[in-house]
């Protein structure tokens, strides 16, 4: 049987929207909401704030994606959490993620969870908690930007340790 363009047209029309739809899901609006660890074990938590990727639940809560990214290349690839935030009751929980994390509602969560909640519920506090916008980009672009940010943090972190040691030494000095 011989195929002509007319026979392939339905296939092309069906595949076109799927390709466009696949591209939409790989892009996000990424924000660093928390970073922690010392110079060898740094990790950061990045929220995807693209409105198309934030699901609103019937009870008023929202579900968003948080990526945990590790500086160490030997660490596993980013860990992805689905985090549910209830702004009305000021609580948060992990809806989907690694088994060792609790899925109970939390009002005093770990810092990264609290910052993820505050990012959504209290946008005016973003500067206070040190949120850093990465921008709208594909997932791979976000991972590359995170690696660059780790480099920036690496330069600032030791200076902070030295200043803390100086402050501690001054606190221990006797007053005259």
Give the pLDDT mean for 140-159: 75
Q: Give the burial class of 93: count Cβ atoms within 10 A of its Cβ; 0-12 exposed, 13-18 middle, 19 or more buried.
A: buried
Mean pLDDT of the chain: 80
> Residue 29: pLDDT above 90?
yes
Quickly state the pLDDT bin for 5 (edges 50, 70, 90): very low
> Residue 146: pLDDT above 80?
yes
Report which DSSP code applies to 48.
Answer: E
Structure tokens belonging to residue 75: 């660490």
Quickly state the pLDDT bin for 153 (edges 50, 70, 90): low
Structure tokens belonging to residue 170: 């001054």
3-state SS class at 167: helix
Give the pLDDT mean for 128-156: 83
- What is the per-residue pLDDT for 162? 64
Four-CA torsion 48, 119, 36, 101, nearest 10 degrees: -70
What is each CA distance from 49 to 28, 31, 128, in whole angstroms? 7, 7, 18
Flag the least confident range among 34-43, 45-54, 117-126, 128-137: 34-43
- What is the per-residue pLDDT for 144? 87
Q: Tell me which residue of 72, 48, 73 sits closest to 62, measured CA to CA.
A: 48
Instruction: Dump pLDDT digits (tens) for 84-132.
Output: 999 999 999 999 988 677 789 998 999 999 999 999 999 998 888 889 9
Give the distance between the most distant pair of CA atoms in the chain.
101
- What is the per-residue pLDDT for 12? 42
Whether the Cβ atoms of residue 112 and residue 45 lie closer than 8 Å to each other:
yes
Quickly state the pLDDT bin for 42 (edges 50, 70, 90): confident
- What is the per-residue pLDDT for 37? 83
Four-CA torsion 150, 153, 155, 160, nearest 10 degrees: -150
What is each CA distance from 32 to 58, 65, 95, 124, 176, in whole angstroms? 28, 12, 20, 16, 46
Structure tokens belonging to residue 54: 């934030």
Quickly state the pLDDT bin for 11 (edges 50, 70, 90): very low
Q: Tell me which residue of 122, 97, 99 sits closest to 33, measured CA to CA.
A: 122
């Amino acid at each position: 049987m011989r195929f002509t363009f007319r026979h392939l047209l339905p296939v092309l029309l069906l595949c076109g929207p799927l390709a466009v739809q696949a591209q939409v899901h790989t892009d996000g609006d990424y924000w660093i909401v928390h970073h922690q660890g010392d110079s060898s074990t740094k990790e950061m938590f990045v929220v995807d704030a693209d409105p198309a990727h934030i699901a609103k639940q019937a009870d008023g809560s929202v579900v968003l994606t948080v990526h945990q990214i590790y500086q160490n290349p030997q660490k596993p690839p980013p860990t992805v959490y689905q985090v549910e935030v209830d702004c009305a009751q000021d609580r948060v929980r992990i809806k989907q993620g690694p088994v060792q994390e609790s899925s109970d509602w939390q009002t005093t969560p770990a810092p990264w969870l609290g910052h993820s909640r505050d990012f959504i519920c209290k946008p005016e506090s973003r500067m206070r908690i040190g949120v850093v916008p990465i921008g709208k980009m594909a997932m791979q672009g976000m991972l590359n930007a995170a690696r660059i940010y780790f480099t920036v943090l690496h330069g600032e972190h030791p200076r902070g340790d030295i200043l803390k040691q100086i402050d501690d030494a001054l606190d221990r000095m006797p007053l005259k």
